Amino acid sequence: MRRFSTVPFAGTKQQEQQLRAWLEEHKQMPGVTMPALQKAQEIYGYLPIEVQRIVADVLGRPLAEVYGISTFYAQFSLCPKGAYKISVCLGTACYVKGSGKIYEQLQEKLGITGGECTADGKFSLDACRCIGACGLAPVMTINDDVYGRLTGDELDEILAKY
Amino acid sequence: MDTVNIKINGVSYDVPAGSTILEAAHSVGIEIPTLCYLKEINAIGACRICMVEVKGAKSLVTACVYPVSEGMEVVTNSEKVMASRKTNLELLLSTHDQNCLSCVRSTDCELQKLCRDYGVEGRRFTGSREFYDIDDSSVHMIRDNNKCILCRRCVAVCSANQAVGVIGPTERGFATHIACAFEAPLAESPCVHCGQCITVCPTGALTEKDDTAKVWAALQDPAKYVVVQPAPSVRATLGEAFGMPIGTNVEGKMVAALRRLGFDKVFDTDTGADFTIMEEATEFVQRVKNGGALPMITSCSPGWVKFCETYYPEMIPNLSSCKSPQQMFGALTKTYYAQKMGLDPHDVVCVSVMPCTAKKFEIGRQDQSAAGDGIPDVDISITTRELARMIQRAGLRFDQLPDEDFDPALGESTGASVIFGATGGVMEAALRTAVELVTGESAPAVDYEAVRGTQGIKEAAYQVGGLTLNVCVASGLSNCDKVLKAVQSGEKHYDFIEFMACPGGCVNGGGQPTQPGSVRNFVDLKALRAQALYHEDAGKPVRKSHENPVLKKVYEEFLGQPGGEKAHHILHTSYVPREKNY
């Protein structure tokens, strides 16, 4: 069962106006719900219930339907991204070098599963595919910092820097 | 009618152009099995059970959505077709809990029947499978996704017919399941408890909450005086649970069965319905005379009432303040009848048998305890399906029961109350009484044909004592929704509106016996069941609510004037705006 973010919603009036304006302009378009969610995610970074309610209300669709679409496509995120976005490469080279294990350890240490964000909004964790640094495998990035030839023992020290 | 010539299993037929293979085959007596297909609202070709061979097509096609064309050759029963259906059933079973022994739908489950028909043995495929918590948060039903085959019939009725759409398919792949938005428990969603999803579910994934144990306990308790009231439409459908033809009126046998189950008194919700008409017609006439909120809208259907409170709270002043027949009956049982019989209302248990799951919600509403706080008007509400199970458990051979009459004190009814069970019935019954209230004269005509029939929206204009009354009748909440939008935009003007949450009214309620897709898609259940009620009305000696002798007596002895202070205290209620959280 999907777990929902406990990070408080911090959307601004401005973001809401931007979303509503887009929805009003496009609501007659056939099949508008998916692009509407894409727009909403572009504005807010993720699709919490507060945002999906706006989409459902303006489009006149049931929230259950909007939610169904938001959970069908992997590119939609229901969790916010953290101040520090951790991305672990699960591409072939990194994976054979043990990045799967690193990803698991990070989930344990942060107490979240992939795609989620810690309750304090500090770290979010995602898996990604090859970032082109196979020579450094296994690799992860935290925002723009790249960490290569990782071992599980280093993780605490790295996280402590943020 | 344009036809095309096709061959089915080597035999040539002329079939209507534009029909699907499923419809064409049905018209010539060949059944193709379906699971997901629901006529008009769920033609999605998802379950892959209706696969047939079409000559020249590169693979098997889904008969429920594939149109016929001239010269088409279809095979519905080849080895390839049957093997494919069997494999698809086995795949469905791979994520199904297969607990048939303890499932309430066993023997009337569409999946179980197909598995038997196709010789499916046990669990052929084992692999990834999700396990789901059972959602029993709501008062009226249980969702067990471990039995769900993702046919989406429930989703289709919830959004297409009922305009509510509180459930939908969620996630994807093996994790796909039907849920409320953000996995909210059903009780926290704006579900209106109509139960239409239960009646269309092909498996045991959706079931009413079984309250029969509470009824058995009350019947066993010597300190309790247990009164039962079956709703008008239950007599038109209960026979189906015992294999009788759809539309058989089993009133006499139903009464006999209830008596043999041990109820102290077998009364009739129809009597409550006559009181509803008396109060509602009086309220309507008062609103017309005193400039009250119009259109006045009926309040018998608890699904509609909750829909109004949740989706149209601004229309609450237009709702009639009358309690529903179920609640009026309960209120009178706990006040008038208890007093008359010298019973403590705390010891009286009022059980209702309803075509409806929303009635389970209604009995717990606020302002529904005429005899005092903590004494609900109705204690337990069971559906037609639950009554059928009680009769089966008690070992009563239903078809061999004699025809018996209701107990007299609160068991007499009129033709007007009988037709409450069909869309338009409440309107017609109210008109029969309102016309005489306005003119003060006995009106010879009692048949208001324009408001009969199973169309979703009906309208008519009647001349009543110099006034023109514009009335509207709608059933199915999406139709109610359309009417309300037209009223609010000023496009339509009505004085009196009857709304029923379920399409066709109570005869097609969410608590009625289930019928499989193979019946539902080709037979107009609503019309056949309603006929049973209109026949009974036509044959009744008294056809106007205000002429019910019980009614006259109770007003004289106890209630005073219709619409008066005491009647208001006992027979009327209030409403609350509700949040739409999910």
Q: Which domains does chain B have, with CATH numbers?
A: 3-89 (3.10.20.740), 100-208 (3.30.70.20), 213-571 (3.40.50.1780)
Distance from CA of B526 to the nearest CA of A (A): 27
Cross-chain Cβ contact B179/A64 below 8 Å: yes
For residues A99 and A155, membership in a common domain is answered with yes
The residue of A2, A37, A71, A77 whose CB has the most chain B CBs within 10 angstroms, and thus the best one to mutate to test that interface, is: A71
* Any domain includes A133: yes
For residues A95 and A153, membership in a common domain is answered with yes
Number of domains making up chain A: 2
CA-to-CA separations, B554 to B19, B350, B412, B437, in angstroms, rounded: 56, 18, 12, 18
Q: Is B262 left (phi over 0), alpha (psi -120 to 50) or beta?
A: left
* Any domain includes A99: yes
Cross-chain Cβ contact B170/A1 below 8 Å: no
Q: Kindly report the pTM of this predicted structure.
A: 0.93
Q: CA-CA-CA-CA torsion for B418, B423, B429, B435, nearest 10 degrees? A: -170
A160/B contact by beta carbon, under 8 A: no
Distance from CA of A104 to the nearest CA of B (A): 21
Cross-chain Cβ contact B165/A64 below 8 Å: yes
A3 pLDDT band, cuts 50/70/90, is confident
For residues A26 and A91, membership in a common domain is answered with no
For residues A37 and A91, membership in a common domain is answered with no
Task: Indicate the helix (H) or strand (E) that contains B327.
Answer: helix B325-332
Q: Hey, what are B50's tokens?
A: 């209706």
Question: Is residue A1 scored above 80 in pLDDT?
Answer: no
Domain extent for A50: 13-72
For residues A95 and A62, membership in a common domain is answered with no
Task: Note the pLDDT of residue A5.
Answer: 81
Cross-chain Cβ contact B183/A52 below 8 Å: no
Q: Are B277 and B417 in contact (CB under 8 A)?
A: yes
pLDDT, average across residues A91-112: 95
The residue of A67, A69, A73, A77 whose CB has the most chain B CBs within 10 angstroms, and thus the best one to mutate to test that interface, is: A67
Determine the Cα angle at B510 with ends B506 and B511, to 5°: 90
**3-state helix/strand/coil string of B225-288:** EEEEEECHHHHHCHHHHHCCCCCCCCHHHHHHHHHHHCCCEECCHHHHHHHHHHHHHHHHHHHH
> What residues of A are in contact with residue B161 (Cβ under 8 Å)?
none
Boundary (domain end) residue, out of A72, A95, A117: A72
B164/A contact by beta carbon, under 8 A: yes
Task: Show pLDDT as tens, one digit a residue, over chain B (582 residues).
Answer: 799 999 999 999 999 999 999 999 999 999 999 999 999 999 999 999 999 999 999 999 999 999 999 999 999 999 999 999 999 999 999 999 999 999 999 999 999 999 999 999 878 998 788 999 999 999 999 999 999 999 999 999 999 999 999 999 999 999 999 999 999 999 999 999 999 999 999 999 999 999 999 999 999 999 999 999 999 999 999 999 999 999 999 999 999 999 999 999 999 999 999 999 999 999 999 999 999 999 999 999 999 999 999 999 999 999 999 999 999 999 999 999 999 999 999 999 999 999 999 999 999 999 999 999 999 999 999 999 999 999 999 999 999 999 999 999 888 889 999 999 999 999 999 999 998 988 888 887 778 999 999 999 999 999 887 889 999 999 999 999 999 999 999 999 999 999 999 999 999 999 999 999 999 999 999 999 999 999 999 999 999 999 999 999 999 999 999 999 999 999 999 999 999 988
CATH number of the domain that A18 lies in? Answer: 1.10.10
Nearest CB among B170, B189, B582 relative to A68 is that of B170
Distance from CA of B130 to the nearest CA of A (A): 9
The residue of B159, B170, B176 whose CB has the most chain A CBs within 10 angstroms, and thus the best one to mutate to test that interface, is: B170
> What residues of A are in contact with residue B481 (Cβ under 8 Å)?
none
A72 burial class (0-12, 13-18, 19+ CB within 10 angstroms)?
Answer: middle
The residue of A6, A51, A65, A76 whose CB has the most chain B CBs within 10 angstroms, and thus the best one to mutate to test that interface, is: A65
For residues A68 and A88, membership in a common domain is answered with no
A18 pLDDT band, cuts 50/70/90, is very high
* Any domain includes A7: no
CA-to-CA separations, B529 to B381, B536, B567, B572, in angstroms, rounded: 22, 12, 33, 30
Distance from CA of B581 to the nearest CA of A (A): 9
* Any domain includes A5: no
A52/B contact by beta carbon, under 8 A: yes
* Any domain includes A136: yes
Q: What are the percentages of helix, strand and coil residues in chain A, rounded to 5?
A: 45, 10, 40
Question: Both ends of chain B: CA-CA distance in Å?
Answer: 47
Residue (of B314, B401, B38, B356) closest to B195 by Cα position: B356
For residues A17 and A44, membership in a common domain is answered with yes
Task: State which residue of chain A sits closest to B131, comparing Cα positions.
Answer: A1
For residues A88 and A152, membership in a common domain is answered with yes
The residue of B135, B150, B582 whose CB has the most chain A CBs within 10 angstroms, and thus the best one to mutate to test that interface, is: B582
Helix B384-393 and helix B212-220, axial crossing angle in degrees, nearest 10: 50
Cross-chain Cβ contact A62/B159 below 8 Å: yes
Task: Note the pLDDT of residue B150.
Answer: 97
B contact residues 81-140, partner A, Cβ 8 Å cutoff = 132-133
* Any domain includes A93: yes
CA-to-CA separations, B549 to B271, B329, B418, in angstroms, rounded: 10, 15, 16
* Any domain includes A42: yes
Cross-chain Cβ contact A66/B181 below 8 Å: yes
For residues A93 and A152, membership in a common domain is answered with yes
In which residue are the tokens 């043990």 written?
A98
> What residues of B are in contact with residue A1 (Cβ under 8 Å)?
132-133, 183
A75 pLDDT band, cuts 50/70/90, is confident
For residues A153 and A123, membership in a common domain is answered with yes
Mean pLDDT of chain A: 94
CA distance A162 to A142: 9
Nearest CB among A63, A66, A71 relative to B171 is that of A71
**Three-class SS of residue A134?**
helix
Task: Note the pLDDT of residue B442.
Answer: 87
* Any domain includes A40: yes
Question: Both ends of chain A: CA-CA distance in Å?
Answer: 30
Task: Note the pLDDT of residue B581.
Answer: 87
CATH number of the domain that A106 lies in? Answer: 3.40.30.10
For residues A66 and A96, membership in a common domain is answered with no
Distance from CA of A100 to the nearest CA of B (A): 21
A75/B contact by beta carbon, under 8 A: no
Nearest CB among A4, A65, A72 relative to B182 is that of A4
Phi, psi torsion values for B513, nearest 5 degrees: -55, 140
For residues A91 and A141, membership in a common domain is answered with yes
Cross-chain Cβ contact A67/B181 below 8 Å: yes
Task: State which residue of chain B sits closest to A47, comparing Cα positions.
Answer: B182
B340 Cβ contact partners less than 8 Å away, ≥ 6 residues apart: B409
Task: Note the pLDDT of residue B334.
Answer: 97
Task: Note the pLDDT of residue A74.
Answer: 86
